[in-house]
């Protein structure tokens, strides 16, 4: 697996909003600004053909209209979006709002498929969608990718909960919400990541969805299995 951090920040931080790219063509979340950041990183947006959405807050899916418009102008028209059933209407409504005169033509040209099931396969990855606890916002999900001897998880936005403990126990790498210094019911914090790193010392924890003060404090940590990345960093570079 090749795994690159496209965005590691929360909304009010210089780093892009949280997003991650697998093997150059599978994107976890497509938040505001992600298409611009992909372009700046030299990544061809049109090569991405699988988009997984953790939940429908704006900072996790608001760039989808730009992505669909770009895809429609290229030869590679396959698009697979993995989300909940209500998410399909949210995406189409957002697209029509952003590009009202082009939306029908674009959607007719694309080979667009929505996938609502919780367990599916993308290439050689077995993928599971698991429910997490994002405060009053429901539903919110994380994703687990399994391939050969490697398991990688993405928590999405969440407070510490039983699902997070489960993901931490099975994932070799877990990309974690770490919004604050102290976690709450909606978002995890540095205290939660330290707890996970201590409990599962053989697994690595990658912080994300971070704000300025959180990043400053996280970079002071001297815990070997906690990774505090920058946008564009590779967590895994493939075989």
Q: Does pLDDT of 11 surpass 90? A: no
User: Do residues 98 and 60 lie in contact, with contact meaning Cβ atoms separated by under 8 Å?
Assistant: no
Tokens of 33: 């600004």
Average pLDDT over residues 29-52: 95
Residue 130's φ and ψ, nearest 5 degrees, are -125, 140
SS3 171: coil
| C-alpha distances out from residue 226 to 10, 56, 166, 197, 229, Å | 18, 28, 18, 7, 10
Percent of the chain whose predicted confidence (pLDDT) is above 70:
100
Express each pLDDT in 57-92 by its tens digit: 999 999 999 999 999 998 889 999 999 999 999 999
Q: Does pLDDT of 120 surpass 80? A: yes
The string of DSSP codes covering 197-222 is HHH-TTSEEEEESB-HHHHHHHTT--
Q: What pLDDT score was predicted for residue 76?
A: 87
| H or E stretch at 103 | helix 103-109
Instruction: Delimit the domains of the chain by residue range.
Output: 2-237
Q: Does pLDDT of 239 surpass 70? A: no
| C-alpha distances out from residue 176 to 105, 153, 205, Å | 38, 8, 7
| C-alpha distances out from residue 139 to 19, 54, 78, Å | 19, 9, 27
Q: Does pLDDT of 127 surpass 80? A: yes
Average pLDDT over residues 94-106: 93
User: Do residues 187 and 208 lie in contact, with contact meaning Cβ atoms separated by under 8 Å?
Assistant: no
Farthest-apart Cα atoms in the chain, separation? 53
Q: What pLDDT score was predicted for residue 238?
A: 85
Please state which CATH number belongs to domain 2-237: 3.60.15.10
The string of DSSP codes covering 7-64 is E-B-TTSSSPBSEEEETTTEEE---TTHHHHHHHTT--GGG--EEE-S--SHHHHTTH
Express each pLDDT in 159-178 by its tens digit: 999 999 999 999 999 999 99
Q: Which residues contact 86 (CB under 8 A, 6 or more apart)?
A: 56
Residue 38's φ and ψ, nearest 5 degrees, are -60, -45
Express each pLDDT in 196-207 by its tens digit: 999 999 999 999
How sure is the predictor about 12, in pLDDT bands with cuts at 50, 70 and 90? confident
Average pLDDT over residues 232-237: 96
* CA 26 to chain centroid: 10
- What mean pLDDT is reported for the chain? 95
Express each pLDDT in 141-164 by its tens digit: 999 999 989 999 999 999 999 999
Instruction: Please give the DSSP secondary-structure letter assigned to residue 182.
Output: S
């Amino acid at each position: 697996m090749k795994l690159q951090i496209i965005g590691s920040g929360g909304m009010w931080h210089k780093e892009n909003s949280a997003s991650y790219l697998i093997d150059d063509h599978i994107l976890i979340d497509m938040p505001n600004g992600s298409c611009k950041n992909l372009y700046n990183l030299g990544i061809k947006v049109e090569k991405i053909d699988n988009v997984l959405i953790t939940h429908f807050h704006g900072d996790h899916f608001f760039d989808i209209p730009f992505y669909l418009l770009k895809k429609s102008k290229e030869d590679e028209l396959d698009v697979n979006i993995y989300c909940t059933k209500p998410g399909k209407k949210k995406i189409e409504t957002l697209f029509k709002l952003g590009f009202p005169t082009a939306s029908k033509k674009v959607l007719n040209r694309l080979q667009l498929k929505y996938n609502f099931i919780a367990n599916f396969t993308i290439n050689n990855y077995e993928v599971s969608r698991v429910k997490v606890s994002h405060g009053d916002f429901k539903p919110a999900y994380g994703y687990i990718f399994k391939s050969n001897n490697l398991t990688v998880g993405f928590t999405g936005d969440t407070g510490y909960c039983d699902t997070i403990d489960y993901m931490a126990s099975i994932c070799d790498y877990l990309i974690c919400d770490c919004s604050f210094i102290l976690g709450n019911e909606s978002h995890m914090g540095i205290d939660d990541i330290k707890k996970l790193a201590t409990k599962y010392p053989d697994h690595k924890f990658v912080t994300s969805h971070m704000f300025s003060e959180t990043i400053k404090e996280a970079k002071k940590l001297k815990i070997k299995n906690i990774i505090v990345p920058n946008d564009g960093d590779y967590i895994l570079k493939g075989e």
